[in-house]
Chain A
C-alpha cells in the first residue's frame, strides 16, 4: 500500500481532477483540507480555480476514499455509494452531491475513490457545543420540517425505476429482517472475543419479535442531523450514503428515534418532537407503523452500535490499529451493552 503525505495528495488530486473532470491544465489549488472523522472512509475537500475568458472561476470538490483498517460492518465496497448518489442526484429532488468519476485504480491515492460536488453549507457534530447551539436554534425554524420531508421523499421514491447496484438489495420484503439479523450474527461471529450473554439476548430477542414485513424502499441507514449540511434555515445536503440499501423504511425512522442519536435531548436527533415527526412522516408517506415496530428497529440499531464498538475493539487488539478512537470505542463496549440492556428493560 502506498502512503501519501498531505502535500502529495494535494498535487495528485489537483492533477487528477484537472485532467479527468475539468479537462484543463491551468488550474490552481486555492484551499484543501481533510475533515476529521472518517471511521470507515476518508474525505478530502478542496477548491480549484482557473482563468476563463479573462475571468477567474472556481469549483469545489470532495473526494471520498475507502479507508484501509477502518471500521467495518459487512462487506466494504465504495462503488454502491457512488452509484446511489449518481442516481439520486439525477433523478430526485433530494439535496445530494452530484458525482463525477469513480476511480478503481488504487495506485493513484492508495485505494479506490470517487469525486463529487462540494455542496454549500456546513455540517455540525450534534453533541458538540457549536452543534448544540445550532440545533437548538434550528429546531425552532423550518429545518425540522425539511428533515422529515427529505426522509419521506427518499422512502417514497420509486427505486425500481432507478439503475441501482445489485449489492444494495438485501433480500426481499419477506426476508429482509432475517437478512439483517443474519448480518448482525456474522459481524458478531467475526469480531467477538468471547460469547457475550447481553449480545446473545439481544439477537435472540430480535429473532422472536420480528414485526410484519412492509414494502421496502431506499433507506439511508445513517440519517441523522450530523450527516446533513445546512445553510441558514435550509438543509443543503444529505451526506454519508455508505450504508444505504433497499430496506425496511422503519429502520431509518427508528434510527432517527435512537437514543444514541439524541442522548439527553428531549428532541429526536436534537431537532424534532417525536409526535410531530411521526405525524408529518405518516402524512407524507401513508406508511403505517406502530410504536412497537419502531422499538424493534431501535433494538436492532443499538445492537449495531454495539457491533461497531466490538469491531473497534477488534481493530485495536487484534489488528494493532494506532487509531486511538478504536481503543476509546472498544472501551465503550460496556456502555453500549448497558444501553441495549436499558432499552430491553433491564
Chain B
C-alpha cells in the first residue's frame, strides 16, 4: 500500500494549507496545529508494515510452484510455456526487496492467469486454483485496510 511517510506528509500539508485557514474556532485551530506535530512524530516513531507483504510473498512462491508443477503434469503440449513461468519464478525468489518481490510475483501471477484464459485446453480447474490462492492473498492484504 502507500508509503507511510508520503501519506502522513500529504495529510499534514492538507491540514496546514486547507483545513487550518478555514477553521473559525481558535480551539480547533490549536488542535489542528498540534495534530501536525503529532503526525510528524508518529511518522518518525513508526515503520512501514511489511509483514503482510512478506506473508503474501511466501504464499505466492509456495502455491505458484505447486500449481505450475501440477499443470505441467496435467496438460500435454504446453510444457514449454510452463517451464518459462517456472524459470521466472525461480528468478523472482532470489529478489531480496520485499515490495519488489511482491510486485514481481503479482506480475507473474497476472501473466499466468491471462495465459490460462487463452489456452485452448480446458483450464477452469487451474483458474479455480489460482482463485483459491487469490482469496488467501486477499485475506492477508485486507489487514492493511483501516
Q: Which chain A residues lie closer than 8 Å to B2 at the CB level?
A: 313, 316-317, 327, 330-331
Segment at the B interface, from A56-64, A151-159, A193-201, A248-256: A193-201
Q: Which chain B residues lie closer than 8 Å to A197 at the CB level?
A: 106, 109-110, 113, 130, 134
The secondary-structure label for the interface of chain B is helix
The secondary-structure label for the interface of chain A is helix
State which residues 61-90 of B face A: CB under 8 Å.
none
Q: Contact between B107 and A195 (Cβ–Cβ < 8 Å)?
A: yes
State which residues 98-146 of B face A: CB under 8 Å.
103, 106-107, 109-111, 113-114, 117, 127, 130-132, 134-135, 138, 141-142, 144-146
Q: Contact between A334 and B144 (Cβ–Cβ < 8 Å)?
A: yes
Q: Is B23 an interface residue (CB 8 A)?
A: no
Closest to A335 in B: B145
- Distance in angstroms from A197 CB to nearest chain B CB is 4
In the bound complex, how far is the Cα of B131 from the Cα of A341, in angstroms? 8
Closest to B13 in A: A322
How many chain A residues touch the partner (CB < 8 A)?
Answer: 30
Q: Contact between B134 and A341 (Cβ–Cβ < 8 Å)?
A: yes
- Distance in angstroms from A201 CB to nearest chain B CB is 5
- Which of A197, A313, A327, A330 lies at the interface centre, i.e. has the most chain B CB atoms within 10 A of its CB? A197
Q: Which chain A residues lie closer than 8 Å to B114 at the CB level?
A: 200, 204
Q: Which chain B residues lie closer than 8 Å to A341 at the CB level?
A: 131, 134-135, 138
Q: Which chain B residues lie closer than 8 Å to A54 at the CB level?
A: none
Q: Contact between B135 and A346 (Cβ–Cβ < 8 Å)?
A: yes
Q: Contact between A331 and B145 (Cβ–Cβ < 8 Å)?
A: yes
Q: Contact between B130 and A201 (Cβ–Cβ < 8 Å)?
A: yes
Residue A317 contacts which of B6, B13, B103, B132 (CB distance < 8 angstroms)? B6
Q: Which chain A residues lie closer than 8 Å to B37 at the CB level?
A: none
Sample of 24 A–B contacts (CB below 8 Å) = A195-B107, A195-B111, A196-B106, A197-B109, A197-B110, A198-B134, A201-B131, A204-B113, A204-B114, A207-B117, A316-B10, A322-B10, A322-B17, A327-B11, A331-B2, A334-B1, A334-B141, A341-B131, A341-B134, A341-B135, A344-B131, A345-B131, A346-B132, A346-B135
Chain A residues within CB distance 8 Å of chain B: 194-201, 204-205, 207-208, 313, 316-317, 320, 322, 324, 327, 330-332, 334-335, 337-338, 341, 344-346
Chain B residues within CB distance 8 Å of chain A: 1-2, 6-7, 10-11, 13-14, 17-18, 103, 106-107, 109-111, 113-114, 117, 127, 130-132, 134-135, 138, 141-142, 144-146
